[in-house]
Amino acid sequence: MPYPAGLLRVNSMMDLTKAEQMLGLRKPPQSSCTPLAQIYTVLGESSDSLPKHKLDMSKDRDDPLNGRTAWLHSLTGALIVFNCWGMANAFGLFQAYFERYYLPPGTSPSSISWIGSTQLALVFGLGVPVGRLVDQGYFRFVFHSGSVIMLLGIFCTAWCKTLWSLWLVQGLITGLGMGMVFCAGIVALMTWFDERKLGAAMAVGAAGSCIGGIVYIVVARHFLLTHGFPTTMRVLGAISAAALIPPNLVFRVRGQRNKLKARRQHATSSNIMRGFVSPAYLLAAAGMFFAFLGVYFGFVYMVSFASTELKLSDDASINLLIYMLAANLPGRFLPALISDKCIGPLNTILPSIFLSAGCIALWMALGDSGNERGPLTVVACFYGFVSAGIQVLYAPTVYTFCLVSAPRSSSSLTMSEREANQIATDCMGMKAGVIFSALGLACLIGTPIGGALVKYRTARGMERPYLGAQVFAMCSLLLGGCLLLASRVARIGWQAKRA
């Protein structure tokens, strides 16, 4: 409409628009989301670094933190853990089978355990390169390639007949695929949940470890006795292939489509080093290393202990591992609920570590007489239950040390800005990958050290051959717990608060 001369003095179209809004002739614009430039500011970038193409922000609004898509990732993540950790948990069965039936007599248990420890180490140990690739936007490439490599390794194990070939294929190649799938999946899952829900999400996903271990053990035990080793590995490969289909269709990194360019520009060397020099972070990495150095000794060697020292039958020894994994399943949910609802992952994982060390001490106290089958079953079940807290809470604990928000420019941030600030971590994949690599190194050398200690005492005719290895596992857990306690003190002090 025309305005009388002199009524409104406008020097630009912007002034004209403001004048019409003051007179009530035009409604002020209402934006339901934070401008893209502000979000880039929270991420540590200037508005000049915006991509030239139009960014689709509706995807993150449709897929919020802790939403339906997030829990779908958690459910399909159980299939990832089913494959990676189910196969690793079942290696105790293969350890006993290789030692007694498949490999030449006299093959060292420590040498055989390198197969399982290499596989287990690579599940964690690829954290640094995989985390870096995920940060750079190559999640799908890493995840799909790892699935193919993992299946190739399982099927090719059927043709292995010597120790070195088993280590190369079942340990190295299969473990390489497992590490690519698992590390990429865990980093991706972290982007879908905040600290209050990540423990429960990990508990749902980690349930696949116990179920997978039981399924693989039962299937392997049946087919090893009736059809032999090659057929067994082909059947296990078919199960793995079926279980990997849903995760490969569902999994992706939340928001990476929109923030890929920002992540690449934000990952400067100063930002990376700032998170790594934290005393709490370094103590947490060391504590995780020593905890995982001893936690898997019971899962690998309790079967051979029951078979060689207690003279139990093969079925009774394998049932001991099944009972341990069955008790491990509920033990994954209770610590996760306590962590999410009450005290946080770091406060919850500490009692699990010290209780696991106590269970190893009880195992030592049982001795090796033939009438200890019942007490050993009880100790095995209790160890499976309490050690589950370590296995399910290590990722949420790592998450608390990796999630370092970008500096706030203002105290009045909107909800979208807070959400962007929460997701914009200083190279989460890289920082989590360093701790995962420490866990991988611990898993690589932990069980072989235990096997070497068993061989040392056996070769010298000493009583209780497993005693030295049990002491080693117990001391490793105790030291890991003390270092994690020190990391908690370095992070928040001695206050009774969530951590």
Rg (CA), the chain: 27
pLDDT at res. 356: 93
The token pair that represents 34 in the structure block:
């934070």
321 in Cβ contact with 215 (< 8 Å): no
State the residue range of the domain holding 261. Answer: 65-406+414-492
Residues 6+ apart with CB under 8 A from 450: 113, 297, 300, 301, 469, 472, 473
Q: How far apart are CA 341 and CA 336, in angstroms?
A: 8
Domains of the chain: total:
1
In 63-168, which residue ranges form alpha helices assigned H by DSSP?
A: 68-89, 91-97, 109-125, 127-135, 139-156, 163-166
Contact present, 290 and 296 (Cβ < 8 Å): no
Structure tokens at 350: 């500490």
Helix, strand, coil % over all residues of the chain, rounded to 5: 75, 0, 25
pLDDT over 70, % of the chain: 76
Query: Quick one: 395 exposed, middle or buried, by C-beta within 10 A (0-12, 13-18, 19+)?
Result: buried
Q: Is residue 222 part of a domain?
A: yes
Say which residues have a Cβ less than 8 Å from residue 261's Cβ, sequence separation at least 6: 49, 51
Residue 266 located in a structural domain: yes
pTM here is 0.69
The answer as to whether 87 is a domain residue is yes
Distance between CA atoms of 375 and 357, rounded to whole angstroms?
A: 17
Provide the 10 A C-beta neighbour count for residue 389: 25
Q: Shortest CA distance to 266 belongs to which of 44, 42, 6?
A: 44
Query: Looking at residue 495, what DSSP letter applies?
Result: -
Q: How many CA atoms are closer than 13 Å to the CA of 51, on its beta-carbon side?
A: 15
Measured distance CA(223)–CA(246) in Å, rounded = 26
Q: How many CA atoms lie within 13 A of 337 on its CB side?
A: 5
HSE toward the beta carbon, residue 2, CA cutoff 13 A: 2
Would you say 423 and 191 are in contact if contact means Cβ atoms under 8 Å apart? yes
Query: Is 52 a domain residue?
Result: no
Q: Whole-angstrom Cα distance, residue 131 to residue 184?
A: 7
**Which stretches of the chain drop beneath a pLDDT of 70?**
1-62, 256-277, 367-372, 403-429
- Token couple for 440: 């991988």
Q: Is 43 a member of any domain?
A: no
Report d(CA 393, CA 201) in Å as an integer: 11
**DSSP letter, residue 465:** T
pLDDT tens profile 350-367: 999 999 999 999 988 876
| Residue 244 pLDDT | 93
**CATH number of the domain within which 304 lies:** 1.20.1250.20
| CA gap 130, 123 in Å, rounded | 11
Nearest of 191, 204, 239, 196 to residue 86 by alpha carbon: 239
The burial of 462, by beta-carbon neighbours within 10 Å (0-12 exposed, 13-18 middle, 19 or more buried), is given as exposed
| Residue 38 resides in a domain | no
Q: Give residue-wise pLDDT tens across range 48-72.
A: 444 444 444 444 455 777 788 888 9
Within-domain flag for 85: yes
C-beta pairs of 55-60 under 8 Å, 24+ apart in sequence: 55/258, 56/257, 56/258, 57/33, 57/258, 59/255, 59/257, 59/258, 60/254, 60/255, 60/258, 60/419
